[in-house]
Amino acid sequence: MKEQILERDSYLQQIMPWIDKPVIKVLTGQRRVGKSKFMLQIMKHIKKNSKANIIYINTEEEEFQHITDYKALQKTINAKLSKKAKNYLFIDEIQDIKEFERALRSYLAKNECDIYCTGSNSKLMSGELASYLSGRYVEFKIRPLSFTEFCFFHNLPKNNDALLKYFRFGGLPFLRNLPLEEETANEYLQSVYNTILLRDIAERYDIRNLHLLKALSRYIADSTGSIFSSLSISKYLKSTSLQASPKSILDYADYLKNALLVNQVERYDLKGKKIFSSGGKMYFEDLGLRNTIVGGFKINDIQKILENAVYAHLARHGYKVFTGQLNLHEIDFIAEKGSKKIYVQVAYKLSLQKTISREFGNLLMLKDNFPKIVVTMDELAGNDYQGIKHIHALDFLQKEI
């Protein structure tokens, strides 16, 4: 089946100012978030707007299996260079080519190509880009579909039913080619999860204890949005007859983060104006993968899923996200971008007075003038409370912030 390419214009707008600039454009992100398809979108845009010689290399295709090191890469590229048109070089899944950076630096120095590449494993997602490319690159992080993109890809109206589908299946773009049914979608999501564990983590770090890796990812999925404590996790796993030291837990958690399966949100002490050295919370890059890890979507997990979705929305808009601590009170999210700051509390329903007092009361303790928002799934959301906005999740996840 030929897969239709649906455009993701927000990413195209980000990368357009960098086209034809003498830096390497690197698209990073978790497996199957749509980096390859977005690369094809860039190629289409360039061909439409300029006389271009497009050189496209996908290392996962049989035609390019011989490219295992930078010398083979250079030989292939040199055979495709044109002297009559501007050369644009696109390399998909470049991390599998040994010393690829040597070839890229050479073409950049000679100004022979405008260069774009993607990478899915932790070699390109763990802070190593700077050493590989010596600062001559700009990184674009591609994420799973936003709720708005999900509705566009699946041709759904933006309503509560679509929102629950988004919470259930997540935002991996390929799902648009499958029925949005539990069994079929979970089979695909399980295959993606297994590939991340095996190729992006186990192979790279030479991990033999896959049982521990899976157990830790299951624990994080079950406790999404809770404070991460390696000591507590170690004790819990010991109670299930699985031995793992706190240090091993931290190492394995780093592997999961490096593969962008999960993201850690640091805790910020609002009174002491400092970041705590330990703890933080874990949120998944994709909701569908999170649900698959725990055995499928469970309505009892809706608070965790909603909180994860709010985090992802903030991160997708370029905010650095923290979780706040004010004495014994918690602020779910402090989101900062340049001079902008937003405080966000998340609750499934405000049906109990103590929940209302906690969610709004915690925000009322903050005495600055930055926007403060409570996100829920209450049908009556929409009214302000002492200057704090109460927004339905359906509206918040469509909101430009």
DSSP β-ladder status, 274-275 and 281-284: unpaired
How is residue 294 written in tokens?
């725990």
In the block, which residue shows the tokens 């996790």? 233
| CA-to-CA separations, 99 to 95, 125, 278, in angstroms, rounded | 9, 16, 35
| 101/94 Cα distance (integer angstroms) | 9
Residues 334, 195 share a domain: yes
CATH code: domain of residue 28: 3.40.50.300
Ranges of the chain whose pLDDT falls below 50: 1-2, 125-126
Q: In terms of domains, do 307 and 379 share one?
A: yes
Same domain, 137 and 165: no
Biggest CA-to-CA distance, the chain: 72
Does residue 192 share a domain with residue 57? Answer: no
Strand blocks (E) in 221-284: 262-265, 267-269, 274-275, 281-284
pLDDT of residue 47: 92
pLDDT, one tens digit per residue, over 113-161 is 999 999 865 555 445 666 777 778 998 999 999 999 999 999 999 999 9
Q: Are residues 130 and 271 in the same domain?
A: no
pLDDT digits (tens, 9 = 90+) for 81-92: 999 999 999 999
Residue 123 shares a structural domain with residue 152: no
Which amino acid is located at 107 in the chain?
Y
Domains of the chain: total: 2
pTM for this entry: 0.93
Spatial contact of 328 and 335, defined as CB atoms under 8 Å apart: no
pLDDT of residue 369: 93
Supply the range of the domain harboring residue 71: 9-141
Would you say residue 401 lies in a domain?
A: no
Residue 339: which of 320, 323, 365, 326 has the closest Cα? Answer: 320
Packed helices 182-195 and 160-169: angle between N→C axes, nearest 10 degrees: 40
Q: Which of 94, 115, 141 is the last residue of a domain?
A: 141
Cα–Cα dist 398/65, whole Å: 42
